[in-house]
Structure 1
Amino acid sequence: MAESATGTEFDILVLGGGSAGYAAALRAVQLGLSVGLIDKGKIGGTCLHNGCIPTKALLHTAEIADGSRESEKYGVKATFDSIDMAAVNKYKDGVIAGKYRGLLGLIKSRGITTIEGSGRLASQSTVDVDGTVYTGKHIILATGSYSRSLPGLEIGGKVMTSDQALTMDYVPKTAIILGGGVIGCEFASVWKSFGVDVTIIEALPSLVPNEDATIVKAFERAFKKRGIAFNTGTRFTSVEQNDDGVVVTLEDGKTFEADIMLVAVGRGPVTSDLGYEEAGLTMDRGYVITDERLHTGVGNIYAVGDIVPGLQLAHRGFQQGIFVAEEIGGLKPIVVQDINIPKVTYSDPEIASVGYTEKAAREKFGDDRVETQEYNLAGNGRSTIIGTGGLVKLVREKDGPIIGMHMLGSRMGEQIGEAQLIVNWEAYPEDVAPLVHAHPTQNEALGEAHLALAGKPLHS
């Protein structure tokens, strides 16, 4: 392992210790490069501390709550009393703490130098951290993202982002969620399971608008069945806070009242006042522009994760961090396009997808060059056992490979591993059809869908 000669000089300086930054650091030291990892907060970033991990812990609690309510239909006599938020938060925070200790131990054992403080790009090869200047032969920018709001919409009191929602010590009776994307739908799912009367406000015509239209329609039906209300296609105008809660007004004059409002309108890049423009980087609406190999075009500076335009996903940042470390190490890694990165909305039901939607495929290849196949989970034994509905949808280039896979149902996110392999390896339905899928599993649904598209359906 290479060693820093002076304590302030490194082969690589990584500015930001979230998923993208720490992944780059871990891979770089494996390649014999010395690394300084700079972060003003806790290593692990948004995903570990106030994003992916705590949200999924709440979703697991929500699943248990629903299971207790529905237990009698499975022959188990149980009663649901209430949600103890103190205990829920203790469980959630315990998960975070355990993962954080493990990550710190890994960082230390690999010989990565952690530098705590506010870092600012000072030149094409230096970063100033609270007055101390560190030098890197290469610099990787990985400063992450923050919870956005809307112009004029102040966060505070009963109007909050996911940051505040994750630390709530009570369960509200009613909630309005501004934004029907992934974050908004996941919180809607949690809160409905906790007994909250939830309404989602989404300016676009549908919830989760980036997903395949067939999946979206089925997802919306499932949310309606759960009693989650949503108002789509009309923009938010204003919110007023009073002693009773919030009053939200839309452009069409409709008003909604609730105890609290969650603002879930996406995340923005953390790049302001960090010296990026002064160093000559090309910026667009706060994002750092790079080439396909994540180089900024300035010196030996790379950018990864949420500050690069595209999907804002922890595993995308993780993959990009590894990619850049290997690029610097001379391994010439393969570029992974955003279209082939898997996505999961961890609500009930879950959405899992990778590749082209049917609409995007038809726009790119033409209507006559696209085939689709749907498999209803009603035909899947394991799905019947656990009590979930949903479907698997395949998108294929005609007489060619699978270019999109889209799934809906409880726990279907666990099937995205095989799906992304199929899409990324450009497998044909005829390649997948002979593969053996264990019975009874939800994984069989992927096999059945490919059998059908290959022209030999069994249960569909």
Structure 2
Amino acid sequence: MTDFDVLVLGAGSGGYACALRAAQLGLSVGLVEKDKVGGTCLHVGCIPTKALLHAGEVADSARESEQFGVRATFDGIDMAGVNAYKDGVVTRLFKGLTGLVKGRGITVLEGSGAVTGQREVTVTAADGSTEVHTGKHLVLATGSYSRSLPGLEVDGERVLTSEHALRLDRVPASVVVLGGGVIGCEFASVWRSFGAEVTIVEALPRLVAAEDEASSKALERAFRKRKIAFRTGTPFQSVKTTDDGVAVTVEGGDVIEAELLLVAVGRGPVTDGLGFERIGVAMERGFVLTDDRCRTNVEGVYAVGDIVPGLQLAHRGFAQGIFVAEHIAGLDPRPIDESAVPRVTYSHPEIASVGLDEATARETYGDDGVETLTYDLGGNGKSQILKTQGFVKLVRRTDGPVVGVHLVGDRVGELIGEAQLIYAWEAHADDVAPLVHAHPTQNEALGEAHLALAGKPLHAHS
């Protein structure tokens, strides 16, 4: 006999999605969480950072209002007010989520969980007491943590992770951001909007290097215009604290001084010391290895979210959690196509993409097997109204389906849903071109790009 049909270790996006869907399907569910239901994304990740980014957008709008004929003054940033707004968003979503979990009859097991036997988890409460729980199926969903570099000590005062940055009660005068990926570029964008001097240090040759090269170049141009400094192809060497902040030494001996250093070099899997190896779960560099149905090598044990190699995105974990619940319930869901998972960087401007970038497409299908088209947002009415610049870039197999969509511009993250459908349905340009898009919307840019790719450009030069 077991306590639950499904026992989930970790209540982040992947864990709580699995729990909610499993309960909806009539399964008994135990959900182990040491902190708060919602995990990194809700409390110290996606939601609070995007709230800060919106506050930054409001600040920029006030600062630049005269270009729209509106007389306004920008008097500065009240971080107490910004944090109250941010925390209010998180609190409302948290209350809603806990209500959903309770309403579905899910048993929340509060405490630190560790695997201590086959489909068995021991939960240690705050007072030190322990309980052992078992499940017919065990789902590992323990999430991720902010990485650092060897020899780089994070003190939470001068040298910060993103979690520390979200709790700042002031706008720093200057910041060095170590890492030019999604997290680094988003915080650089926020702090610049708030008025800080920002320098990004990135060891790879370009910012957001996982994106299409054209998207990286567009973001770099926009950041130069916003006076966000960045050094690409520049490895970090060391940091020391000074009377005024930090002194960061990079390869070549240059020293960059600032009030704070944000370490944004990626996230690692939270798996160490949790007993996964004890039951024989196959691991690699701390990540849990699974097949395309999220199954580990151990019968009845699954893994979802950031501990599984691949994109570390909340919506990927969410989808995997739903998939596992439906698989356990015998519904035979379709495996998740990793390339069809949309990706968004919520900087100013935003970057969004789905499918293959141009370089990967050419490696896959050959230079003669790939065609690309770029539609400039200069031809899009709503983008002109918003005064944003960017593009829609389409990558397709020669005379075949679209295999990649790449977007740059303010608010383009809202367009990625249609782009995902285009990619996932293996649509051809001629399939999308006849679709009617509302005018004036940025959504039209997707339609216009496909019109051009189908050989009938309108608001675009052929």
- Tell me the TM-score normalized by structure 1: 0.98
* Structure 1 counterpart of 2:359, one-letter code: K
Q: 1: CA distance between counterparts of 2:68 and 2:234?
A: 41
Q: 1: CA distance between counterparts of 2:426 and 2:336?
A: 13
Matched, 1:426 2:420: no
Alpha-carbon displacement from aligned partner over 1:6-25 (angstroms, at most 9, x marks no partner): xx700000000000000000
Cα deviation for residue 93 of structure 1 reads 0.5
Match of 2:11 among 13, 17, 32: 17
Alpha-carbon displacement from aligned partner over 1:94-129 (angstroms, at most 9, x marks no partner): 110000000000000011110001111112221111
Matched, 1:220 2:214: no
Matched, 1:393 2:393: yes
1:356 aligned partner: 356
1:155 aligned partner: 154
Partner-residue secondary structure (3-state), 1:106: helix
Cα deviation for residue 278 of structure 1 reads 1.0
Contact 1:120 1:127 in 2 (8 A): yes
Contact 2:10 2:142 in 1 (8 A): yes
Match of 1:128 among 114, 122, 132: 122
Choose 196-205 or 332-341, whichever is displaced more.
332-341
* Structure 1 counterpart of 2:420, one-letter code: Q
Cα deviation for residue 234 of structure 1 reads 1.5
* Structure 2 counterpart of 1:81, one-letter code: D
Partner-residue secondary structure (3-state), 1:278: helix
1:76 aligned partner: 70
Contact 2:292 2:336 in 1 (8 A): no
Q: 2: CA distance between counterparts of 1:174 and 1:115?
A: 43
Alpha-carbon displacement from aligned partner over 1:395-418 (angstroms, at most 9, x marks no partner): 001121111000000000000000
The within-5 A match list for 1:287-326 is 287-326=287-326
Cα deviation for residue 249 of structure 1 reads 0.4
The within-5 A match list for 1:333-352 is 333-352=333-352
Cα deviation for residue 252 of structure 1 reads 1.1
Cα deviation for residue 340 of structure 1 reads 1.1
Matched, 1:60 2:50: no
Aligned-residue sequence identity (percent) comes to 66
What count of residue pairs does the alignment treat as equivalent? 454
Contact 1:124 1:299 in 2 (8 A): no
How much is the aligned-residue C-alpha RMSD, in angstroms?
A: 0.8
Q: 2: CA distance between counterparts of 1:224 and 1:201?
A: 14
Partner-residue secondary structure (3-state), 1:122: strand
Q: Structure 1 segments of 4 or more deviating over 3 A?
A: none
* Structure 1 counterpart of 2:401, one-letter code: P
Partner-residue secondary structure (3-state), 2:277: coil
The within-5 A match list for 1:59-208 is 59-130=53-124, 131-156=130-155, 157-208=157-208
Q: 1: CA distance between counterparts of 2:22 and 2:399?
A: 41
* Structure 2 counterpart of 1:341, one-letter code: V
Cα deviation for residue 242 of structure 1 reads 1.5
* Structure 1 counterpart of 2:152, one-letter code: L
Contact 1:124 1:300 in 2 (8 A): no
* Structure 1 counterpart of 2:216, one-letter code: V
Matched, 1:36 2:35: no
Contact 2:8 2:15 in 1 (8 A): yes
1:261 aligned partner: 261
Cα deviation for residue 336 of structure 1 reads 1.6
Q: 1: CA distance between counterparts of 2:215 and 2:272?
A: 37
Q: 1: CA distance between counterparts of 2:218 and 2:19?
A: 41
- Tell me the TM-score normalized by structure 2: 0.98
The within-5 A match list for 1:40-51 is 40-51=34-45
* Structure 2 counterpart of 1:30, one-letter code: Q
Partner-residue secondary structure (3-state), 1:175: strand
